[in-house]
Structure 1
Amino acid sequence: MNIFITGATGQLGNYAIDYLKEFAPEANLFGLARTKPAAEKLEKRGVSARIADFSDKDSLVKAFDGMDRLLFISIPQANLQANVVAAAKEVGIKFIAYTSINGIKYPKMGLESNHRQTELLISESGIKHTFLRNSWYLAMAKGPIDAAIKTGKYYYLSDGKVSFATRQEYAEAAARAVSTADFGEIVELGRNAFTEIDLAHALEKATGKNFEIKQVDAKTYSEHLAPYSDAGFEVYMQEYIKNGNNGESEVNQRDFEKVIGHPLAPLSKAIETIL
C-alpha cells in the first residue's frame, strides 16, 4: 500500500509519519516537499519525497502517481486545495483522509468556508474519504500559558467554552484513519469543551503552581500577554469564544477516542506537551 502525505514537512505531517510507521509498517510512505532540501529531510526519515506544489496541478499529478491513499493536510486556500482533489481523481487515488474543521456548520473565523468547499469537491470526486473535522490546536493557547507561568497570573476574557487538542493527538487520528480507511465519512475530533478556568486549573496541575485566575477586560488582557505572544490574535480568539454561536460548547471526544482506540490524556497531560 502506498500512502501519500501532503504537509509532510510540517509539524502535523511529521507526527503523522511517526504514527504511520507504527500503525502501518508495511506501507510505503511518500510525502510532498516544495524544495530539494525539504525533500532530503523526508528521505532521511525513510519517506520517499516527491517535489510538487499545490498551485501546480500537473506537479501534483506526477507526485500522486501510483498512490493508493492520500492524507490531505489542509491549507487555508480553497482554490489551491481544488488542485489536490483534481489530481487525486486524475491518478485514481482510492481514499482520502482530509483534515477539516470541527463544527463546520458554524462560523469559524472564516475558515469554515474553505473547508466546506474542499469537502464538497472531495465528495463530488467520488473518491472514498473520511473528513477529519479537527478542533483547534492546544498550542494556540501557549501565549496565555507562558504569560501565566512568567507572571503567576492567568488572565482571560471569555467565560465561554472551547475545544483544544494537541498536534500529536490529531496526527494519531489522521494516521489511523488513512491507514485503515475504516471510520466512515465524518469524524468530529476534539477534546470535551472546557472553559478558561478549566484550562487554568489544568495548567496548575501540570506545573505544580498556583495562579491568580481572573477575568479581565480586553485592554488588560492584551497588555498582560504582549511580552509573551501575539496579543492581537489572542484577543481575537477570546472574542470568538465569548461571542458564541460557534459550536464549541457541543464538542466532545467520543469520535476522537473511537478513532485512536484509547482515551485522550487529561488536559493537564496535554498541556505538558507544549510547555
Structure 2
Amino acid sequence: MILVTGATGQLGSQIVENLLTQISPSEIAVLVRDEEKAKELKNKGVQIRIGEYTNPNSLVAAFKDVKKLILISSNDFNDRFGQHKNAIDAAKQTGVKHVIYTSMSMNDIETSPLKGFLEDHYQTEEYIKQSGFTYTMMQHSLYSDVIPMFIGEQVLETGVFFPAGEGRVAYASRTDLAEAISKIVVSDAFDNQSLPLTNIENYSYADVAEILTELSGKEVVYVSPTPEVFAETLKGFGLPEPIIQMSLGFASGIKNNDFDKPFPNLETILGRKPQTLKDYLQSVYIK
C-alpha cells in the first residue's frame, strides 16, 4: 500500500491522479483532514485515512498496512519539523518501509537568507535517515507556480517589480514534479537517493519580463527595488506582514542564487523535457 499525505492539496492531488494511471486504486491510500474533500478519490476506489500531522495518534491509525509513505511537507510553518517528526515516528511505529519526502533543492542552506525558513527540510531528511527507513528525498526546485504570487496578476500592465536582482532559478512546474514523483514511487530504482528535481534551464526575473514582452507584444519592464521599497509597496496593497516577510525572504534567496543550479533528474524521470518557463507563463498570462 502506498499512502500520500496532503492528498487534497495542489501537489498531492496531482500525484494521486498520476498514480491512478499506473497502479490499481486499491493500492493507494490518502491522508486527509477532511473526508468530504476526498469524496471523488473515494469514489475512484482510493482508501481514505483521516489524520493530521499535529495528532500523532491519528497518524498511527492512518499508516496501518502502509509500505511506502509519500510525505508531503507541511504548509503550516508553526513547528513544521515537529509535524514531520510526528509523521516519521508514526511510520516507524506502524512498519512503513520506505519514506519518500518532498524536500528542497538548494545550493547551501547554511549560507542562505532562507535558512530559518527552510532548514526544517534538511532536519526532516536527516531524521528520516536516522530512523532507518529506505528513503527517497525529492529535492524540488521552486515551483513555477510561485511566480504569479511574486509578480502579481496584472504584470502585463504593471511590469515585474520584485527585489531578486540578477538571481536565477531552475523553476519546475508542480505538474511536472507530480508526474515525476508518481514514477519514482512505483519504481525501486531510486531507493536511498537524494534527487534534485529542477528544470534543465534557469531563469532570472529579467528573463520573465522579456518572455512576457514577447508573448504579449507589450513592453514589460523588470525593476528590482530595494527590500525596503518593496516592503512599503506591499504594505500599501494591504498585504499582511507574514506574507510580506515571506516574499522578501524568497526574493533575498533568489538574489543569492540559492536555487540556480539545473539538474537532469527531472527530465530523465519524465522521459521528456520539463515545461519551459515560456510555456508556463503563456498558460497563466496569455488568454
Question: TM-score if structure 2 supplies the norm length?
Answer: 0.83
Instruction: Indicate the SS of the match to 2:48.
Output: strand
2:254 corresponds to which of 241, 253, 263: 241
2:195 corresponds to which of 181, 184, 187: 187
Q: 1:57 to 1:211 in 2, by over 3 A?
A: same
**CA offset digits 1:113-148 (Å, max 9, x no partner):** 211221112112221111001121222220415232
1:88-107 to structure 2, matched below 5 A, reads 88-103=91-106, 105-106=108-109, 107=112
Query: Shift of the alpha carbon at 1:82?
Result: 0.9
Aligned position for 2:176: 169
Instruction: Indicate the SS of the match to 2:96.
Output: coil
Instruction: Indicate the SS of the match to 2:186.
Output: helix
Aligned 8 A contact 1:15 1:172 in 2:
yes
1:131-170 to structure 2, matched below 5 A, reads 131-143=137-149, 144-151=151-158, 153-157=159-163, 158-170=165-177
Aligned position for 2:87: 84
Aligned 8 A contact 1:4 1:64 in 2:
yes
Q: Identity of paired residues, percent?
A: 26
In structure 1, how many angstroms separate the alpha carbons of the residues matched to 2:144 and 2:173? Answer: 5
Instruction: Extract unaligned runs of 5+ from structure 1.
Output: none
Aligned position for 1:130: 136
Q: 1:53 to 1:220 in 2, by over 3 A?
A: closer
Aligned 8 A contact 1:147 1:224 in 2:
no
Query: Shift of the alpha carbon at 1:5?
Result: 0.4
Query: Shift of the alpha carbon at 1:109?
Result: 4.2
Query: Shift of the alpha carbon at 1:262?
Result: 1.6
Query: Shift of the alpha carbon at 1:206?
Result: 4.4
Instruction: Extract unaligned runs of 5+ from structure 2.
Output: none
Aligned 8 A contact 1:4 1:70 in 2:
yes
Query: Shift of the alpha carbon at 1:223?
Result: 6.5
127-136 or 225-234: which moved more? 225-234
In structure 2, how many angstroms separate the alpha carbons of the residues matched to 1:9 and 1:89? Answer: 24
Question: TM-score if structure 1 supplies the norm length?
Answer: 0.86
Instruction: Indicate the SS of the match to 1:165.
Output: coil
In structure 1, how many angstroms separate the alpha carbons of the residues matched to 2:25 and 2:52? Answer: 27
**CA offset digits 1:24-48 (Å, max 9, x no partner):** 3476211111133234354245421
Instruction: Indicate the SS of the match to 1:256.
Output: helix
In structure 2, how many angstroms separate the alpha carbons of the residues matched to 1:193 and 1:90? Answer: 41
In structure 2, how many angstroms separate the alpha carbons of the residues matched to 1:85 and 1:63? Answer: 12
**CA offset digits 1:200-256 (Å, max 9, x no partner):** 2233344454313344444654566665975554343222322x2x5323x103111
In structure 2, how many angstroms separate the alpha carbons of the residues matched to 1:91 and 1:19? Answer: 26
Aligned position for 2:64: 65
In structure 1, how many angstroms separate the alpha carbons of the residues matched to 2:65 and 2:54? Answer: 21
